[in-house]
Structures are given as C-alpha cells and as structure tokens.
Amino acid sequence: MTADEKQRTAVFLDLAGDFISSGYRGAEQGYLFTDDVPSAGEGAKNGENSTQGDSLEKIAAEIRACAGCPLGKTRTNAAPGEGVTQPLVMVIGEGPGAEEDAQGRPFVGRAGQLLDKMLSSINLSRNSNCFIANVVKCRPPNNRDPRPEETASCAHFLKRQIVFLKPKFILVAGRIAAQTLLETTEPIGKLRGKFTELTVKDMTIPLLVTYHPAALLRNEEYKRPAWEDLKLLRSRIDELNGEN
C-alpha cells in the first residue's frame, strides 16, 4: 500500500469513528506513512503489475530493505546486481559469498574475478555490455545452497530485473541458478552446452547454462567445457550482429 492510500484510509476511519462516538467530525490527524515494500509473496503474486514504473534503483532499494526470508537477518549487505542498463548479456549466478556480502556487489571475490576474465575472453564486461545478478540477493550463511523458500522469496526481484533490462541473452552460472530459472532438477551436465528459451512476461530470451566460476576454481576439468559454452554464446551474439 502506498503512503497516500494509507492516509486516505486513516482519514476515512477517523471520520467514521468520530461520527459513531459523538456524531461530530473531530480534528484531522496527521500521519507519517511510508510506502510498503512488497513482501516476497506479494511480489510473486503481483509480479505482472510490479514492473510498472520500475527502475533498477527502485528494485535495488527494495532488495536492500527486504526482510522477506531469514537471509535478510543474517546478511551484512544485500547485493542487488550491477552492470549496464541495456545489456547484451545478463549473467545470473547463485548468490553472494563473503566478499559480495561485505561489499554489496555481485561476483567480486575470487570467483567473480574469474568470471570477469571469462566474459572478457569473448568481449563481454559488466562495465560495457553485461548486467550481473543472482537468484538470491543475500548471502546464505556459510555459503550453503539457497533453500527453495529463499529463492522463491527473491524470484520477483529477479523477474523485475529481467523485464526492466530486456537482455538479448542470459548466461546462467552454476547448478542452483540453472535449476531455479529452468524449474528443473536435471544435473548441470545435462543443462549446459545448449540454448534454452526462457519466457519472462512477454519476452522470450535465449538462455545458456555453464559452470559456476567457483566450480572451475575447484576442478580444472570444468574449464574446457566452460570455454566451449562461452564460444557458443559468442557465436550466437555474432549471429545476432550479422557477423557470421
């Protein structure tokens, strides 16, 4: 509810109360109402309407104020996302880690530094043509996997970001993000290496899954298939630009 709606409701209730109690209208009270931040359930339920009049700043402010799930109580800083406002590629990962929680920015730790190098290898960057976000905006304690209720709580924020940004492509980093966005339990080995179409509101966006940079740091065997995924993405971008 907006502050104006609250004010009008309060005035009406005051007026009704005055007439019931004394039959006369009393002095109008002043109230300091503020707009509500949508809860996770409200955001998901009203997702089609919540994108009206949106901006990245508005979504980010709501994320930073969100207490829709337990992660809001344990975070240091939420990490809404960052990048350009008309991205060629939107990169979506799992959730903030320790460094991201400290800075309030996505992918800034070791895995984030590797992600930047991976993107740079195919002429992509958060500074020029990408936007980077996560399926959950607050760090799960001890970097555990986000729980289903936590990803559900953040779902409307991510959807609004996608609708506002209108990326040409989505690159999904890691199993959790891929399974969340594609609503599947398939292992990442079966999800990566091919494009899938993601429909959000009235948009259909080509989506490609690859391994999370953190997985590459733990296991070098993933580096070759991840590079193949990046080359596949670059090839589709070049097709879009008429370069093939």
Tell me: do 49 and 155 sit in the same domain.
yes
Q: What is the pLDDT of residue 51?
A: 56
Q: How many folded domains does the chain comprise? A: 2
Tell me: do 59 and 144 sit in the same domain.
yes
For the chain, helix, strand, coil in percent to 5 are 50, 15, 40
Which tens digits make up the pLDDT trace of 75-102?
Answer: 999 999 999 999 999 999 999 999 999 9
End-to-end CA gap in the chain: 51
pTM, rounded to two decimals = 0.79
The number of angstroms, rounded, from the C-alpha of 126 to the middle of its chain's C-alpha atoms is 15
- Phi, psi angles (nearest 5°) of residue 60: -60, -40
Report the alpha-carbon angle 17-20-23, nearest 5: 105
According to DSSP, residue 75 is labeled -
> Are 215 and 222 in contact, with CB atoms under 8 Å apart?
yes
Tell me: do 114 and 161 sit in the same domain.
yes
Tell me: do 10 and 43 sit in the same domain.
no
> Are 89 and 173 in contact, with CB atoms under 8 Å apart?
no
Tell me: do 142 and 200 sit in the same domain.
yes
Tell me: do 70 and 14 sit in the same domain.
no
Tell me: do 21 and 83 sit in the same domain.
no
Which tens digits make up the pLDDT trace of 51-83?
Answer: 568 899 999 999 999 999 999 999 999 999 999
- Neighbour order of strands in the sheet with 195-200: 82-83, 130-134, 89-93, 169-173, 203-210, 195-200
Average pLDDT over residues 114-138: 98
Give the residue numbers spanning the domain of 8: 1-36
Tell me: do 8 and 56 sit in the same domain.
no
> Are 90 and 170 in contact, with CB atoms under 8 Å apart?
yes
